[in-house]
């Protein structure tokens, strides 16, 4: 995808948070950069401070931890979504997980340095503070729902809910990654799927 199309997609994608005037957008875009990831390439790795947040114009990534030598996938992001090792990015602390491309992925990126510059730029500061706030609030709401699911639902209920709200994820992501995401083992997810199928 050419850069103009990517920028256009980015501009549309963030209207849920903030809308820039043409002048503001002109300034804003001078702080952006572009990148792409081959399949299995990493956007963030454990132990390093994550210096970028990115908007995915094409592709998909997974977030995973390593525990006892095992990879455990905790989350996914797809095209038209923002991505970052949030905690590491905002707190400037070493990242504790990995972000890896599941497919060939294209990104529009903002570096931490450029973000700080924008937060100090008289014409952008207020809007960028708001942008940051609204992004964070958006993700808080996502997290709230996710934690609620872990607290109030059984693995089977979480699976059924996912199937209903984002069933197409099963066509795009290996099932054992989704199992981790649901907080269970791949074997267990396979059993749940069989169980819930037989009930119909």
Residues that bind DNA (CB under 7 A): 39-40, 154-156, 174-176, 183-194
- CA separation for the pair 97, 160 (Å, rounded): 27
Nearest to DNA of 121, 191 (CB atom): 191
**45 neighbors 71 (Cβ within 8 angstroms):** no
Nearest to DNA of 69, 122 (CB atom): 69
State the minimum distance, in angstroms, from the CB of residue 49 to DNA.
28
Mark residues 55-74: x for contact with its own copies by CB under 8 A, - for none: ----------x-x----x-x
Q: 65 is in the binding site of which of DNA, its own copies, none (Cβ under 5 to 8 A by kind)? A: its own copies
Q: How many angstroms separate the Cα of 145 from the Cα of each of 102, 124, 148, 149?
A: 25, 32, 5, 6
Per CB under 8 A, which of residues 29..58 are in contact with its own copies?
A: none
Nearest to its own copies of 12, 136 (CB atom): 136
- CA separation for the pair 84, 99 (Å, rounded): 8
Nearest to its own copies of 25, 143 (CB atom): 143
Calculate the CA dihedral of residues 181, 184, 186, 188 and round it to 10 degrees: -140
Residue 187 parent element (H or E): helix 186-198
Q: With contacts defined by CB under 8 A, how many residues of the chain interact with its own copies?
A: 33
Pairing of strands 70-78, 60-67: antiparallel
Q: 188 is in the binding site of which of its own copies, DNA, none (Cβ under 5 to 8 A by kind)? A: DNA
Tokens of 176: 């054992």
Query: Is 139 near its own copies (CB under 8 A)?
Result: yes
State the minimum distance, in angstroms, from the CB of residue 96 to its own copies.
8
State the minimum distance, in angstroms, from the CB of residue 14 to its own copies.
15
Residue 71 parent element (H or E): strand 70-78
Instruction: Give residue 80's region: left, alpha or beta (phi > 0; psi -120 to 50).
Output: left
Q: Which residues bind its own copies (CB under 8 A)?
A: 65, 67, 72, 74-75, 86-87, 90-91, 96-97, 125-126, 129-130, 132-133, 136-137, 139-141, 143-144, 146-148, 150-152, 180-181, 183
């Amino acid at each position: 995808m050419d850069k103009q199309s990517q920028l256009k997609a980015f501009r549309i994608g963030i209207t849920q948070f903030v809308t820039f005037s043409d002048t503001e957008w002109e300034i804003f875009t001078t702080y952006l950069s572009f990148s792409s990831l081959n399949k299995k390439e990493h956007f963030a790795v454990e132990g390093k401070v994550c210096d970028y947040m990115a908007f995915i114009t094409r592709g998909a990534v997974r977030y995973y931890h390593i525990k006892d030598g095992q990879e455990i996938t905790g989350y996914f992001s797809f095209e038209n979504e923002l991505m970052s090792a949030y905690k590491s990015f905002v707190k400037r602390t070493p990242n504790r997980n990995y972000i890896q491309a599941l497919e060939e992925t294209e990104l529009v990126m903002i570096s931490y340095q450029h973000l700080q510059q924008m937060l100090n730029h008289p014409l952008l500061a207020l809007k960028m503070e708001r942008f940051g706030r609204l992004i964070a609030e958006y993700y808080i709401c996502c997290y709230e729902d996710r934690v609620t699911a872990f607290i109030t639902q059984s693995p089977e209920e979480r699976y059924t809910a996912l199937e209903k709200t984002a069933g197409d994820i099963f066509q795009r992501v290996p099932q054992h990654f989704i199992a981790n995401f649901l907080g269970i083992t791949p074997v267990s997810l396979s059993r749940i799927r069989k169980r819930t199928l037989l009930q119909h």
